[in-house]
């Protein structure tokens, strides 16, 4: 008999992706938001182009060591000036598709890392 350990899933874990919405726990969300181990908050930008330094400062105020930015169905980079906002505060910033950001968030969250994922929807 093979035994498999399955750790308890965090209430902040992303449990589903369906087109232009994501599920956190049992709640489906269809507008931009950010999530970490302690909070789930709406987030103002509706497009990657709308992201400003102030939007990134909001994420940084939560104290992450890394921010995963879900940019929709495909990966899109932020301009270097915006990436520098996170780097100046010694916080990693990784841009990727929403699918990839959700998977990576769950892995890092399960490892106990101070991770924050923000999704543009």
What does pTM read for this prediction? 0.91
Quote the pLDDT of residue 2: 55
Look over the chain and give the mean of its residue pLDDT values, rounded to a whole number: 93
Confirm whether 98 is domain-assigned: yes
pLDDT of residue 4: 45
Tokens read off for 93: 């910033």
Q: Is residue 3 part of a domain?
A: no
Kindly state whether residue 9 falls inside one of the protein's structural domains.
no
Q: How many domains does the chain have?
A: 1
DSSP string, 10-79: PTTSEEEEETTEEEETTEEE-S-EEE-SS-EEE---SSGGG--HHHHHHHHTT--SEEEEE-SSS--PPP
What's the pLDDT tens digit per position in 68-89? Answer: 999 999 999 999 999 999 999 9
- Arithmetic mean of pLDDT, 18-34: 95
Q: Is residue 4 part of a domain?
A: no
Q: What is the pLDDT of residues 96-106, one digit of tens each?
A: 999 999 999 99
Q: Is residue 7's pLDDT more than 80? A: no
Is residue 7 one of the residues assigned to a domain? no
Range of the domain at 100: 14-119
Q: Has residue 86 been placed in a domain? A: yes
Q: Does residue 46 lie in a domain region?
A: yes
In a domain, 1, yes or no: no
Flag whether pLDDT at 44 surpasses 60: yes
């Amino acid at each position: 008999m093979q035994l498999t350990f399955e750790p308890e899933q965090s209430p902040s874990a992303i449990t589903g992706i369906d087109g232009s919405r994501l599920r956190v726990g049992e709640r489906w969300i269809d507008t931009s938001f950010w999530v970490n181990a302690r909070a789930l908050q709406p987030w103002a930008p509706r497009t990657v182009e709308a992201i400003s330094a102030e939007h990134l400062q909001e994420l940084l105020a939560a104290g992450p060591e890394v921010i995963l930015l879900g940019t929709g169905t495909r990966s899109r980079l932020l301009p270097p000036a915006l990436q520098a906002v996170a780097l100046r505060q010694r916080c990693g910033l990784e841009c990727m598709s929403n699918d990839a950001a959700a998977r990576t968030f769950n892995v890092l969250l399960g490892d106990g890392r101070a991770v924050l994922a923000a999704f543009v929807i």
